[in-house]
Each structure stands twice: as C-alpha cells, then as structure tokens.
Amino acid sequence: MVDVVRSKKPSVHKRTPAGGAPTAPRSAAEAQRADALEPRIDIAAVGELLLGTWADARRESREMIKDEAFWQIPGQPMPEHRERVLGQLHRFVDAGAAGRAYPVEHGGQGDNGGNLASFEELVLADPSMQIKAGVQWGLFGSAIQQLGTTKHHAKWLDDVRTLKLPGAFAMTEMGHGSDVAAIGTTATYDPETDEFVIHTPFRAATKEFLGNAALHGRAATVFAQLITGGVNYGVHCFFVPIRDENGQNLPGVSSEDDGVKGGLNGIDNGRLAFDHVRIPRENLLNRYGDVAADGTYSSDIPSPGRRFFTMLGALVQGRVSLDGASTTGAALAEYIAITYANQRRQFDSGAGTDEVVLLDYGKHQRRLLPRLAQTYAQFFSHDQLLRRFDGVFGGEHDTPAEREDLETLAAALKPLSTWNALETIQECREACGGAGFMAENRLVDLHHDLDVYATFEGDNTILLQLVGKRLLSDFAKQFKGKDAASLARYAVGQTAGKIFHGAGLRQLGQSVADFGSTARSVELGLRAEQQHELLAGRVEQMVTDVATALRPASKLKPAEAAALFNEHQAELIEAARAHGELLQWEAFAEAVEAITDAGTRRVLTWLRDLFGLHLIEKHLAWYLISGRLSGQRAASVSRYIGRLCTRLRPHAQDLVDAFGFAPEHVRAPIALGGEQQRQDEARAYYAALAASGEAPISEKTLRKQKK
Amino acid sequence: MVDVVRSKKPSVHKRTPAGGAPTAPRSAAEAQRADALEPRIDIAAVGELLLGTWADARRESREMIKDEAFWQIPGQPMPEHRERVLGQLHRFVDAGAAGRAYPVEHGGQGDNGGNLASFEELVLADPSMQIKAGVQWGLFGSAIQQLGTTKHHAKWLDDVRTLKLPGAFAMTEMGHGSDVAAIGTTATYDPETDEFVIHTPFRAATKEFLGNAALHGRAATVFAQLITGGVNYGVHCFFVPIRDENGQNLPGVSSEDDGVKGGLNGIDNGRLAFDHVRIPRENLLNRYGDVAADGTYSSDIPSPGRRFFTMLGALVQGRVSLDGASTTGAALAEYIAITYANQRRQFDSGAGTDEVVLLDYGKHQRRLLPRLAQTYAQFFSHDQLLRRFDGVFGGEHDTPAEREDLETLAAALKPLSTWNALETIQECREACGGAGFMAENRLVDLHHDLDVYATFEGDNTILLQLVGKRLLSDFAKQFKGKDAASLARYAVGQTAGKIFHGAGLRQLGQSVADFGSTARSVELGLRAEQQHELLAGRVEQMVTDVATALRPASKLKPAEAAALFNEHQAELIEAARAHGELLQWEAFAEAVEAITDAGTRRVLTWLRDLFGLHLIEKHLAWYLISGRLSGQRAASVSRYIGRLCTRLRPHAQDLVDAFGFAPEHVRAPIALGGEQQRQDEARAYYAALAASGEAPISEKTLRKQKK
C-alpha cells in the first residue's frame, strides 16, 4: 500500500511551468532569482525528513483518508456532520487503525509514537474526525489505560478500541478548566455498599465541553474529588456509565448539548451532571491511588501534589498530538496559498509586459515565506517531541525526570504551533483574497476547526506559564547551596549588566565595528552560531531578569508576593515563549546538519536562517534594549530577511511540494490547477485577439492617431 | 422611540458588584487600584461621544434590531439563513430604514452620514444582514445613484429601495479583483440596434463573489470595458437585467452559486457570466461617460485614468462603512470578554483567599486593555471619516481634492480597523477559553463573518499601498520646482541623519540624560506631545526613506524600476500603516481635548496614552534603530503600559458599558450574568459546607492531626 503512494507521487507533484521557476526572466530581480535556481532541493528526500521517525504510520494514515468518505463536507449541518464523523470512526476501526497504542493483548500494537503520528494526519481529512478519535481513543481510552490497572483494561479496553463503548472524558467543568485541582464534582466512598457516589454539587461543577457527551457516549471517565472517611484525597478518575444501550441517560445522569461551536461541529460536545450516581468501588481508576473496601486510602505517591501532577502527566499525549496536527494543518494552508500565489496573476509590473504572479511581489513573499520556515521548524521539533513521548510511554526512558521534561517540552511547543497554525491559516486565507474565503478552498474551515486548539488540552497562556515556572525553578537550582551573599552579588551583577547594555555602551562599540560593513559581513554576523547565541541568550537573560525581579517575593506576605508575581506574569510568559522558539530553532538546525545533499542543504540552510532571523526580527526591540544588537545590525535583519525571501522564492513550490500532499488531501480547487487553466485561457484569448487585428485600440492610441 | 431607549439604559447597564470594583481589596495591587478608583467616567456621556455625530441614527437602528427577527441563529443551515436574511431586508424596508441616503424624491432622506451610521449598527444583529443590505442599497443602489443620472434614478431607485428590484454589484471577476481596470468583461456598442452587447469572453472574466447573484438578484450593475467604434474607453458600469419575475436566468445569462463561505452565509454569493447579452444603450450608467446613438463617446473627464478613479471613488462608501462596522464588532467582542473576565474566577492568588477574577491577572489586562484603547481610537477616527464622507457626498465639500482626501482616509483606516476587529475578536474568544468557542457566545460567528472584511471592498494590503503612493506623491510635491542639486542634498542629509541615529550617538546622549530617572520622569517623556512627535515623526521618516530609496527609479528602465519598487513594497505599506495609526491617535487626542468632565477626561487620557504607548511598543525596534528612543526610554514603554493597565483596570467595565449595548445586542450568555450566578452559587455552597462542619478535611490536615 505504501509503495503505491510513493510511486504515484511524482505524477501528482510534478512541477508546473508556472510553479517554481518563472519561464522568462524579465527583470533584474528575476535574473538574480534565475541564478539562484542552481541549487535545488531533493523534494522526495525532504518529504521523508518531514514525515519523520514514524513516516510509515503517517503514509498509511494518509492513504486511508484518500477515501472521500473521510472528507469534511463544507457547510454540512451539525446533526448530519456528527453522524458522519461517528461513521468515520467505525470505518477507522474496520481499517484496523484504532487503538494502535493499546497493549497487544487488547488489539493494539503498543506503538505510542506511530499511534500519534497516524492520528495527527487525520486533520487533513476532517479535524472533527481527528478530535473525535482523540476523545475516544486518546482521552477516554487513555484514561482507562494510563490511570486504570489491568482489571480495567481487561474489562473495557477492547470495547473502547472497537467503539462498542464510546465514551467521554469528563475533566473540565463549567467553573474550572485550567485549574483542574479545584473541580467541584465529588466521589464520596460509601463503605456500606462498597460504592462511590458521584455528585455534582452545584451548576458550576457540571462537566462541560465533553466530546461524546451530548449524544454518543455510553460511559465517561469522570474526574472528581475523592472523599473517603471524611478526608478529601484530591482529584481522581472514575469510570461512570452514563447511557443505556438505547442511548437513554442512566438514572441520576443528566446531559445537555453544547450546540453549535466555532468549529469541530462533527463532535457532539456536551455537559454532564451527576445526582448521587452510584458506581462500584472497582470503577476507581486506581493506578496512582486506591480505596480499600473499608474505605482506607492508599497510594504509591505520598505527596498529594505530585500524585495529582503524575495523573495529569499520564494524559500528555493530547498536547503532543496537537503540536503535530496543527503543524500539518499549517502546512496544508501553505501548500494552498503558495501554489495559488505561483499561478495567480494580478497587476502588470509597470514594465509593460505580463501581469505579475502574486509570489513575485516582495510583500507577498514576506507574508508567506517566514511562516513556511516556521512550519518547517515545527515539523522537526515535533518529531523530537514525539520521540521523547515514545521513549517515556514505551517504557524505554520512563523516569519521573523524563516525564517532567516531556511535559515541559509539550507545554512549550503546543502553544507555539497551535497559535502559529491560526495565524498562518489566516494569513494564507487573506493572501488568497476572496477565493480564500470560499469554503471549498479549505482555509476557512481549517481556521474554524483549529481555533480551539489554542485553548483546549491546556490553555496556551497557562501552558507557557507552566513552562516559565519550570525555567524559574531550573534557574533557582543553579544556586542551590550557595549563600545569600553570592546570590545577592549575582543579582547585582545582572542589574549592572542591564544598565550597561541599556546605556548603549556595548551597543556603541558594536556599531563602530559594523560601520561601513558590506551586506556580506552583516550576514556573517547573523549566521547560525550568532542566531543561536541571540536566541539562547534571550531566554537566559529573560529568565534571569524575572527571577531577579521575583527574588524579594520570599520575604513578602503571600498577598504581596502574589501581586509581585502578577506584575511579572507577562514577562515570564514571554520568557517561556522564547524558550519554545529556541527549541524549534535548534531542532531545525539539527535537521539541517544531518542533510548530505548539497542543494537541499543549501536551501534548507536559507530557510533555517529565515526562521532564525524572523524570530530575531519579532523581538528586535528586546535585542536592542538589552544591547545584544547594535542599531546597524538590527536594521540589517529586515534587509537580510528580504534577501532570503528573494533567494527562497524559486524554491517555494518545491518546499511545499515536499509536504507530500496528494490532491485528495488538498482538495482546494484553487490549488489544483484551476487558476492556472483560467489564466492560460485568458492569455490565449488576448493573444488570439491581438493576432486577429480586431482588438479594440485604447483611448491613448486613438488620440495619438488623431494628432 | 429614541427616548425609550435612553430611559431604559440605566437599568440595563447598572454596574454589578463583580463589575468594575472588586468588593474587598486583598493585595497591594488591589489597594492601589482602590485608590485609583476615585476618578470615574460619566458612562452616559462617553456613550454619547462614542455614538458620534449621527447618534440618533445609530440609536434608531439599535432599537430596531432588538427584535429577535433580526438576530443571527448560530449554525442555521445556509439555505434557511439566506431566506431569513432576505426576509430581514424586507422588514427593514417596512420599518422605513432603507435607502436613507437616496434622494428625497425617491423615498430617501438624502442623509449620507446617517445612512451609513445606521447601517453599521446592523453588524450587532447579523453581519450577513448588514452586508446584504450593503449589497442592495450600498453597492447595487449606489452604482445606479452615483454612476447613473436622473433617468436611471427615476426608473429604478424606488424599486431598489423597496426591494422590488434586488440586485447584484458585478465588478470583481474570477481573474481580477483588486485590479479592476484589467477586467475582461466587454460591453460593445452596436449602433445598428442601439444596444450594448455584454459579454464574458473567457472563464476568468466571470463575475465572482457577488451577493444576490446566486438566487435573489433580478438585475446587476455590471462593470465592463466599454468598446465603441473599435476603441476601448475603459471600465464603465451598465444596468443588466439577469432574472425574470420567476427567478429564471434571462437568455444569455448564466449564474453559479458560490456555496458555503467562511462566514456571511446568509448572503447568496455567486457568479454571473454573459453570453452576448444585449441591453439598451440607455442602460449605460452615464454620469461620467456616455455613448451617443451613432456610437460617439463623450465624457466630462478627458483623462481615462482620472475618469476611472472618479467612478471607483463614487463607491467609497463601502470602505467607509466597513471601518465603522468592524469597530462596532470589535467593541461587542470586548464587551463580552471584559464582562466575563470581571466575573469569571480561576486559580487562587496564592494568598490563600478567594479565586482571582480573570481581569485581575496582569497578563489578562495586557491582552484586553490595549485593544480596548484601540477600539476607542477607532470610534473617534471613524466619526471623522464619516463626517468627511457626508461633507463630500452631501455636496457641502465636494471638490476633486476633497474626494481624493476622503478616499485616502478611507483607504488608510479601513485596513486597520478590519484587521483590528479580527485580532481583537480572536483575542477575546481565546480570553474566554472554551466558552468563547461556543457559538452562543457570539465571538466565533463574529470572527467568521468579519473575516472577509479584510479583503473585500479593497484588499487591505492593496489599500495601504494606495495610501503609501499618495504619501509618496505628497512628499514629492514638497520638492516641486526645486532643482536636482537641492534634492540630492536633501537625500544625503537624510542618509547622514540615519547613520547618525543608527550609530547610537544621539541615543547615548538621551540615555545619559535619562539615567537614574524615576518612573514619573520617564512617563513625562512619553506624554501626549511626545507620543504625537514619535508617531508623526515615524510617518515622516518612513516616507522620506522610501522616497529616497525609490529616487533612482526615474532613471531606470521600466523593468528595473519595477524591481526597485518591489524591493521597497513592504516598507511603503508599513509607512501607510503608520500614517493610519497616527490619524487614529490624533482623532482620539482631539476627542479627549473636548471632554470637560474631570473624571472622564482623566480616564480617557490614560486610555489615549495606552493607545499611543501600545503603538510605540509595536514599533519599538524602529524607534530604537532610528535613534528616536534611547534604550532606557524604550524599556520604560512596556513598564508604563503595565502601569496604565493597572490604572485602567477598575474602569474596564465602565469603558465597555459605555458602548451602550443592550442585552438584545449582546446575547452572549457568558456576558449576561450567567457566570456570575454560577460563581455565587458555588461560593455559597462551599461557605454553607464549611459552616455545617461536614466539609471533608484535606490530606495535609489529616497528616497534621495524625502527628
């Protein structure tokens, strides 16, 4: 099956004349571009690189979704869309594609990395299907797998995999999303009957936004405060049946439909509330905490805080997969917008010749190419994340420290990639003008569906704050054991450094050194090592600055300490973002280092540079204020980006072709040659008209004739 | 009717305890905030200010759309939505609200400003209704009114107003959107029959994206190349019947349905193509160009270029109204997000007390308040734009120069406000988390519908480029008559200035002067005059830089000149954006100057400062590179913004209440008190539980007890 895909590829992705290379150079800029044409990327090899470690799993998934039964139908009303997506999940089971990460004894393959890789590709067919699959097998199923024990696996996992038991993942409540520890639902143990009583004590404790809750779910993994013997042992997860075989709510369970959402309307999100619903004691998913028949609580993890975070951490795969899916979504948008921009013409150049292809405009390159570089970076950083995930969940590298690192990495990357997807898709939609607004061209639905990726599975801002706190605690560890005086000296040193930078002294020196520098020498100062130094230095300095600012907190009253933290919250989040950007850049740089083909390496080095410079440009004011870039060098950053865009322009089509999307994945008419055909037809018409001698003359010509 | 609205307002907009003022200060930051509470804005007076010159027209419109028959139904399938919106337009006619700008003799009021003001408010009910109304009365009707003459008015305007004659505005083609001059449709005069032959010569010349074209239109105002006597006189507009009374296409006319779009699905957008369709010669809308029976062409405007731009300029009202509608849309999003952020609590502060209201978080203030300042600025700049529009179209100030200024102003403001609406609505949607993604809370549909505002009625990037070219030509006029040598000296002077700045010398001086400055003195350096100087100086310098860079173009071959321009395209667009931002800031500053109430004036001054500083922060790297801000002062910009956010935080609810939206305009459950009610219920539950002595204890307490 895989071979069929590969052998088909060349015909699908052949380079049209209107694609990468303009046919006849007609300006200095174009001539320059023609020269730059010499190195070419090996499209197939880059495609392999982008598919990453689990390329086969991705190819299998892509092959499956070539079947139009899996495709989103723009504008399909919500009820039909929901049923269609449920049907798609059944097809998915029939294809043997479900539950790949589950244990072999329950029909899975124990393949954690491959499971997420194949799941991420579903975004190309219909993000509703991707997320509904994620709810069923990734959240509901994973809660049973990761938080339950073998007895739970034996009882439910087969039915979860085969969709005989569709389920909801009931963590979020109306009143508490990001702050899971504060949820209101209670699970109170009753030793008389050996049962837990699941209860929603007030409206805000209603479980909310749950996929499968409005219609299809038969059970739910419900997070609740575990109370036994008058003690609250914190949040635990319980398996709670919610509907009978006819789809009727079980006694004490009430559900509501969330109705229409901003996207993902193929999923039946809804609310669940419980009125003293009794479940057997055995339904506590007891891997990290258990209750004996007499009500005694026990856990391998004594610290309630660590126990809570261990349980949440077991569910990190949602975040991991969103990082991948949003990267693939952004890549699809770029494929569409860049292919269109290589065919669509608008306005003549003023040189009196043909109309200009959109991607030949400097501004259009500026809009699309840095984002393409960003998406490439994400493919590489995501593969690293996925490998780390597989290492931990496959058991190869499963230590608390590795888990913590994995969670931090996921929390750093998921916000960046989901936000980038939204911004990129929007930019692509606008770059396609009115055509981009037509649903058939995919971009708008892609934006609508991926919108919520920024706030579910961990709100992006909250995730970055988590990363920021981790950076602060790592920073603090450096000084563990050192005395207060040395810390104080360090802090003072930092401040002095800042003033030194701020006053422009170091800046001035650099300026003078740069003075009169040619373009080439400026670029030399912004090459790989310098990019890394600038990006890494920024993280270091920002963390140091926040840590220094927060040092007095330990001596303050809680309320004052909270106020001080609040004052620096935005900076801490910025530091975390800088950290994520650095990781993406490093992943890109590592990938480029491994490339042996000279043309590919050269072009991807330019793309990596564009990504690095794009990040530096975004934070240019910071680099100037901190004295890390002189005004002269800073000014050269934008010019350098412009030159990189010019260099990369002839490779733009190759770079999106390397994503390896088949027409069945793209589906947008504007990116499947329709525009090119219309342009050719129009040009042929005018050529024939001119040749016929019957073309009307212009007023200007008329006036000349009259004179 | 108007009085009823006003008298109802206080009860609708009463300040809830959870609104502006936290009930009990519990931290240093809150105590500070409590002090800052002293000045308050006069909500009603600010509301009047925001409603602007045509406040009564806006109030009337808002009163009308309190009727739920006008409200968008989330998720309504496209076919029903289209019929609903058509029905709303008929209600609109029945209410006498249609065609307010038309001449009195055709049932209008000749009220240009009031017409747009009332039309803009419709965005609160359903943007589809707003835009379909705009297509019918603003585009189709205006083409007849502005490009036609009295005979056309007499023949069609009454039926247009009463919707007996629904029509499409057929300008854009599949192959040409922004470049209207290059459209392919031809209108060839046939003196034998005294008819024009309207023809679509190839697929790319098909008229595209036209509201009313798929279903409801009976006629269209079609833009086509006017050809008579073998001469092409350029683009003119023609009245072309397209459907009979039964809705069947007339012979030679073919239409297609655009189907589902990213939003505005209540409008039947579609395509129109013409196969040698014959229309009477009289159907040429002949205000700016006419053809006699013998085929002789005549026009009051001899220059084909000026004639073309005059015709397009007559249709500027679309852009004007989008500037207003997108401002109102952004304001609605802010009302929803800020009201919710004043009620929603998440995480305790670490001070061991209650959970914190979202808007008390530093980062949340940073996300929402600068955008609120931006929207205030837009209300003020839009009112200025609307007054200018009314002056020109009402005939009071109708000169070619005034028209050109109006067009430039509209082209500068529309991109900024439509983009800001999208960014603001998205930020608000994310700031409301999962609740923001529910369609019932309005934010997602608002984003979907307003998405296309960025690319229709003039693509934002193209409009800014137009503004940029105008800035360049104004710049060039300054030097008209000066000799080449003085120009050259000027250019050299500029460059020297740049190097001087870039080398950081002036920067250093400023740094030293700032050294050790207190917060207050830094703020003194960023007050109104300095904000203006910085914003205005940026426009001036950027235009000068681009002009200087482009000077060699006049000596180059056309192809090389085009390449040179292309290299600086992005900068020119940035200069235009800076110009638009300056105009918005100036409008805000003027509005503040006119306020007499001390509290209002103080708070709005802070808000104006926040807007100015927000703009300066956005372009901080530029200010540093150009030497206009020292590193120290630049670093203080962010801190100052933080302080302004803290000051404005207690006024946030007042500032959005001043928008004057009634519950029927808001409709989002999260902003109508539901969240507050749930929070109160949850808090009461825990309080009662604690009082009952039956609350479970925590593990921590248990351990202490055991010891």
Smallest CA–CA distance, residue B233 to chain A, in Å, is: 6
Q: Would strands B186-190 and B219-228 be described as parallel, antiparallel, or unpaired?
A: parallel
Distance from C-alpha of B666 to C-alpha of B676, rounded to nearest angstrom = 16
In a domain, B546, yes or no: yes
In a domain, A63, yes or no: no
Claim to verify: residue B638 and residue B687 sit in the same structural domain: no
Contact in structure between A361 and A646 (CB atoms under 8 Å):
no
Nearest chain A residue (CA) to B233: A699
Position B486 scores a pLDDT of 54
Distance from C-alpha of B588 to C-alpha of B51, rounded to nearest angstrom = 14
Residues of B in contact with A559 (CB under 8 A): 26-28, 349, 351, 353
Going by pLDDT thresholds of 50, 70 and 90, the confidence category of residue A473 is very high
H-type alpha helices, B226-361: 304-313, 317-341
Q: For A261-275, B96-110, B348-362, B659-673, which range has the lowest pLDDT when averaged over its residues?
A: B348-362
Smallest CA–CA distance, residue B45 to chain A, in Å, is: 33
CB burial of residue B480 (10 Å; 0-12, 13-18, 19+): exposed
Distance from C-alpha of B409 to C-alpha of B464, rounded to nearest angstrom = 10
**Euclidean distance between the first and the last CA atom of chain A, given in angstroms as a whole number:** 73
- The verdict on B496 touching A (C-beta cutoff 8 Å) is no
Cα-flanking dihedrals φ and ψ of residue B457, to 5°? 50, 40
Nearest chain B residue (CA) to A446: B262
Claim to verify: residue A613 and residue A541 sit in the same structural domain: yes
Nearest to B681 among A202, A434, A625 (CB): A202
Distance from C-alpha of A62 to C-alpha of A60, rounded to nearest angstrom = 5
In a domain, A442, yes or no: yes
Residues of B in contact with A501 (CB under 8 A): 631
Position A11 scores a pLDDT of 33
- Mean predicted confidence (pLDDT) in B263-283: 98
Report how far Cα B476 is from the mean position of its chain's Cα atoms: 30
Distance from C-alpha of B357 to C-alpha of B345, rounded to nearest angstrom = 4
Which long-range CB contacts under 8 A does A471-476 form with residues at least 24 apart? A471/A539, A471/A543, A471/A575, A471/A576, A471/A579, A472/A543, A472/A546, A472/A547, A472/A550, A472/A572, A475/A543, A475/A544, A475/A547, A476/A547
**Hey, how many other C-beta atoms are within 10 angstroms of the C-beta on A672?**
16
- Digit-coded pLDDT (tens) for B309-349: 999 998 899 999 999 999 999 999 999 999 999 999 998 87
Instruction: Indicate if the pLDDT at residue A351 is higher than 80.
Output: no
The DSSP element (H or E) to which A207 belongs, if any, is strand A207-210
Nearest chain B residue (CA) to A646: B567
SS3 A577: helix
Distance from C-alpha of A405 to C-alpha of A674, rounded to nearest angstrom = 47
Token pair listed for B33 = 């905030």
Q: Is the dihedral of CA A25, A30, A32, A38 positive or negative?
A: negative
- Give residues with Cβ within 8 angstroms of A489, minimum separation 6: none
Contact in structure between B393 and B316 (CB atoms under 8 Å):
no
Share of chain A above pLDDT 90, in %: 82
Query: What's the mean per-residue pLDDT of chain B?
Result: 89
Q: Give this prediction's pTM.
A: 0.92
Position A348 scores a pLDDT of 83
- Mean predicted confidence (pLDDT) in B290-308: 97
In order, the DSSP letters of B644-705 are HHHHHGGGHHHHHHTT---HHHH--GGGTTHHHHHHHHHHHHHHHHHHHT-PPEEHHHHHHH
In a domain, A353, yes or no: yes
The total number of structural domains that make up chain B: 3
- The verdict on A300 touching B (C-beta cutoff 8 Å) is no
SS3 A40: coil
Q: For A423-427, A483-487, A579-583, B563-567, which range has the lowest pLDDT when averaged over its residues?
A: A483-487
Token pair listed for B666 = 């808001």
Distance from C-alpha of B669 to C-alpha of A153, rounded to nearest angstrom = 41
Position A335 scores a pLDDT of 98
The residue among B657, B682, B699 that closes a domain is: B657
Nearest to B177 among A433, A443, A567 (CB): A433
The DSSP element (H or E) to which B23 belongs, if any, is none
Report how far Cα B540 is from the mean position of its chain's Cα atoms: 24
Query: What's the mean per-residue pLDDT of chain A?
Result: 89
Q: For A500-509, B60-69, B312-321, B417-426, which range has the lowest pLDDT when averaged over its residues?
A: A500-509
Residues 661-700 of chain A whose Cβ lies under 8 A from any Cβ of chain B: 677-679, 681-682, 685, 696-700
Per-residue H/E/C for A89-148: HHHHHHCCCCCCCCCHHHCCCCCHHHHHHHHHHHHHCCHHHHHHHHHHHHHHHHHHHHHC
In order, the DSSP letters of B565-611 are HHHTHHHHHHHHHHHHHHHHHHHHHHHHHT---HHHHHHHHHHHHHH
- The verdict on A200 touching B (C-beta cutoff 8 Å) is no
Position B482 scores a pLDDT of 62
Distance from C-alpha of B187 to C-alpha of B226, rounded to nearest angstrom = 5
The DSSP element (H or E) to which A275 belongs, if any, is none
Residues 318-377 of chain B whose Cβ lies under 8 A from any Cβ of chain A: 346-353, 355, 360-363, 366
Going by pLDDT thresholds of 50, 70 and 90, the confidence category of residue B28 is low
Nearest chain A residue (CA) to B635: A625
Going by pLDDT thresholds of 50, 70 and 90, the confidence category of residue B523 is low
Position B623 scores a pLDDT of 96
Position B15 scores a pLDDT of 38
Position B34 scores a pLDDT of 57
Claim to verify: residue B407 and residue B452 sit in the same structural domain: yes
Claim to verify: residue B260 and residue B184 sit in the same structural domain: yes
Instruction: Indicate if the pLDDT at residue B508 is higher than 50.
Output: no
Smallest CA–CA distance, residue A123 to chain B, in Å, is: 18
Instruction: Indicate if the pLDDT at residue A5 is higher than 60.
Output: no
Contact in structure between A606 and A527 (CB atoms under 8 Å):
no
Is the CB of A259 less than 8 angstroms away from the CB of B440? yes
Contact in structure between B129 and B89 (CB atoms under 8 Å):
yes
**Euclidean distance between the first and the last CA atom of chain B, given in angstroms as a whole number:** 73
Distance from C-alpha of A226 to C-alpha of A291, rounded to nearest angstrom = 9
Share of chain A above pLDDT 70, in %: 88
Selection from B84, B114, B83, B82 nearest residue B98 by Cα: B114
Report how far Cα B287 is from the mean position of its chain's Cα atoms: 30
Nearest chain A residue (CA) to B188: A696
Claim to verify: residue A540 and residue A650 sit in the same structural domain: yes
Report how far Cα B705 is from the mean position of its chain's Cα atoms: 63
In a domain, B10, yes or no: no
Claim to verify: residue A567 and residue A624 sit in the same structural domain: yes
Claim to verify: residue B653 and residue B678 sit in the same structural domain: no
Nearest to A682 among B202, B261, B685 (CB): B202
Residues of A in contact with B362 (CB under 8 A): 566-570
Is the CB of A260 less than 8 angstroms away from the CB of B502? no
- Give how far Cα A149 sits from Cα of A42, A145, A155, A218, B54, Å: 48, 7, 10, 20, 68
- Mean predicted confidence (pLDDT) in B92-100: 92
Q: Write the Ramachandran bin of A458: left for phi over 0, alpha for psi from -120 to 50, otherwise beta.
A: left
In a domain, A600, yes or no: yes
Claim to verify: residue B165 and residue B247 sit in the same structural domain: yes
- Give how far Cα A13 sits from Cα of A44, A47, A314, A671, Å: 10, 12, 40, 12
Selection from A315, A288, A253, A309 nearest residue A456 by Cα: A315
Nearest chain B residue (CA) to A631: B625
Token pair listed for A240 = 């709670």
- Digit-coded pLDDT (tens) for B428-439: 999 999 999 999
Going by pLDDT thresholds of 50, 70 and 90, the confidence category of residue A482 is low
Claim to verify: residue B166 and residue B283 sit in the same structural domain: yes
Nearest to A624 among B175, B232, B624 (CB): B624
Nearest to A503 among B201, B444, B511 (CB): B511
Position A3 scores a pLDDT of 33
Residues of B in contact with A30 (CB under 8 A): 563
Q: Pick the residue of A30, A438, A623 with the most B CBs within 10 A to test the interface with B by mutation.
A: A438
Claim to verify: residue B196 and residue B269 sit in the same structural domain: yes
- Digit-coded pLDDT (tens) for A539-572: 999 999 999 999 898 899 988 999 999 999 999 9
Going by pLDDT thresholds of 50, 70 and 90, the confidence category of residue B493 is very low
Q: For A23-37, B465-479, B673-687, which range has the lowest pLDDT when averaged over its residues?
A: A23-37
The residue among A274, A291, A313 that closes a domain is: A313
Rounded CA Rg of chain B:
28
- Mean predicted confidence (pLDDT) in A183-192: 98
- Digit-coded pLDDT (tens) for B412-452: 999 999 999 999 999 999 999 999 999 999 999 999 999 99
The residue among B258, B281, B313 that closes a domain is: B313
Residues 503-542 of chain B whose Cβ lies under 8 A from any Cβ of chain A: 503-505, 507-508, 511-512, 515
Q: Write the Ramachandran bin of B350: left for phi over 0, alpha for psi from -120 to 50, otherwise beta.
A: left
Kindly report the CATH number assigned to the domain that includes residue B508: 1.20.140.10
Residue type at A455? T
Range of the domain at B285: 78-313
Instruction: Indicate if the pLDDT at residue A506 is higher than 50.
Output: no
In a domain, B420, yes or no: yes
**Hey, how many other C-beta atoms are within 10 angstroms of the C-beta on B513?**
14
Per-residue H/E/C for B519-578: HHHHHHCCCHHHHHHHHHHHHHHHHHHHHHHHHHHHHCCHHHHHHHHHHCHHHHHHHHHH
- The verdict on B208 touching A (C-beta cutoff 8 Å) is yes
Smallest CA–CA distance, residue A106 to chain B, in Å, is: 34
In order, the DSSP letters of A295-316 are --EE-S---HHHHHHHHHHTTT
Kindly report the CATH number assigned to the domain that includes residue A142: 2.40.110.10
Nearest chain A residue (CA) to B465: A363
Distance from C-alpha of A424 to C-alpha of A454, rounded to nearest angstrom = 13
Residues 630-649 of chain B whose Cβ lies under 8 A from any Cβ of chain A: 630-632, 634-635, 642
- Digit-coded pLDDT (tens) for A671-693: 999 999 999 999 999 999 999 99
Contact in structure between A104 and A115 (CB atoms under 8 Å):
no
Report how far Cα B150 is from the mean position of its chain's Cα atoms: 33
Nearest to A699 among B78, B233, B642 (CB): B233
- Digit-coded pLDDT (tens) for A123-162: 999 999 999 999 999 999 999 999 999 999 999 999 999 9
Under DSSP, the state recorded for B143 is I
Position A477 scores a pLDDT of 83
Contact in structure between B349 and A557 (CB atoms under 8 Å):
no
Residue with tokens 């910009």: B637
Selection from A358, A374, A453, A463 nearest residue A410 by Cα: A463
In a domain, B72, yes or no: no
Residues of A in contact with B696 (CB under 8 A): 225, 227, 230-232
Claim to verify: residue B363 and residue B446 sit in the same structural domain: yes
Claim to verify: residue B302 and residue B385 sit in the same structural domain: no
Q: Helix B362-393 vs helix B43-51: angle between axes, to the nearest 10 degrees?
A: 50
Smallest CA–CA distance, residue B680 to chain A, in Å, is: 10
Contact in structure between A442 and B259 (CB atoms under 8 Å):
no
Q: Pick the residue of B423, B452, B617 with the most A CBs within 10 A to test the interface with A by mutation.
A: B452
Position B37 scores a pLDDT of 54
